[in-house]
Amino acid sequence: MKIGIPKEIRNNENRVGMTAAGVGQLILDGNEVYVQKGAGVGAGVLDEDYISSGAIMVDTAEEVFEKAALIIKVEKFQKEERKFIKPHHILYSYLHLAADKETTLELVESGATCIAYETIVLDDGSIPLLTPMSEVAGRMAVQVGSFYLQKNTGGKGIVLGGVPGVERGKVVVLGAGVAGQSAIKAAVGLGAEVIAIDIDVNKLRYLDDTYRSQVTTLYSNPRNIEKAVEAADLLIGTVLIPGGKTPCLVTKKYIANMQKGSVIVDVAIDQGGCFETSKVTSHEKPTYIVNGVLHYCVGNMPGAYPITATVALENATLKYARAIANMGLRDACGIYPELLRGINIMNGRVTCRKVADSLGLDYVGVGF
């Protein structure tokens, strides 16, 4: 199969769809791989590295799309890229369509087959291609939040871990999935006072068994959320519904009752966000203030750590990319049933029920 790796163009997105190591494996399997010049530089992968692995370098994204059938990316397809998409393409990337009707309709119109990393879900409910980025984003949320709690960056001016004789900062984490647990781990490591909120009692039991008195666990309901949010110095939203729009758990009213200089980090912003006041920001302009509360809502958070994030993502995505390229999508789905769940759009129809329901569109099964 002919495979293409374009350069990411989202603001300050330095990750790349495949490193030279992954490209080398795809070529060893007998595929042709076209890589746009400069695609991997931000992640520490030079053009020479790709050439050494056997890749064919091309100048533009348009050439990548012209030559390749399978397009491997990291970020959702930007407007400038969508004009290159043809019906024969298989798009393999994060898509986050449930909160983006415009992109969804354009992809439907293109006739391409669109596979979303975030909806490849195993039978046990885990999301192997989202997990590595959730781990990065969860840890990063605490680092970012701690930075913006500095007075000179707009925060109230506290150290999350406190010092002897001084009260510790309060970190509230909504959602105890992979990103939430990563954030909790980082916050506990800093010595903060941590509150974890989730609707899954088993996850709360796990946190209680793991951290004991270091983490307070609360069941997710409006009263518990409101009280915890009001007390938070750093509020982190990590709630995820695979393929669906993130529920808004925190209203403007709750946020208005937070202390001035508190910080919100919305890890779930790509799927709509956990907070009513959330709106997507970029690494270039990452924050804004509502009611005196600083909001950090960068849609591609792991893009700030492209070397770590790219390698971690490739470790998860390469297996499925090889299967699609070596045996075709239908047979690959027979070997990996979770890959079938990843197909969001096919033959001009939405084939992921949660995306269809979130956007009010018709749903049709894949039909394999």
Contact criterion met (CB below 8 Å) for 304 and 322: no
C-alpha 52: how far from its chain's center? Answer: 30
Contact partners, residue 138, CB within 8 Å, separation at least 6: 178, 179, 180, 181, 182, 183, 184, 185, 186, 236, 238, 267
Q: Report strand pairing: 343-346 vs 113-116.
A: antiparallel
Is 107:114 a contact under the CB 8 Å cutoff? yes
The kind and range of the H/E element at 339 are helix 337-342
Determine the Cα–Cα distance for residues 238 and 276; give it in Å rounded to an integer: 14
Which strands, in side-by-side order, build the sheet including 90-93? Answer: 56-58, 32-36, 2-5, 70-72, 90-93, 113-116, 343-346, 349-350
Indicate the angle between helix axes 131-148 and 178-190, nearest 10 degrees.
40
Residue from 114, 118, 130, 101 nearest 356 by CA: 101
Active site positions, annotated: 96, 270
Q: How far apart are CA 76 and CA 52, in angstroms?
A: 28
Alpha-carbon span 183 to 19, nearest angstrom: 27
The alpha carbon of 259 is separated from its chain's Cα centroid by a whole number of angstroms, namely: 29
CA-based end-to-end distance of the chain: 20
What is the bridge-based pairing of β-strands 263-266 and 234-237? parallel
Taking the C-alpha atoms of residue 110 and residue 290, their distance in angstroms, rounded to an integer, is 39
The residue among 186, 195, 187 whose CA lies nearest residue 213 is 195
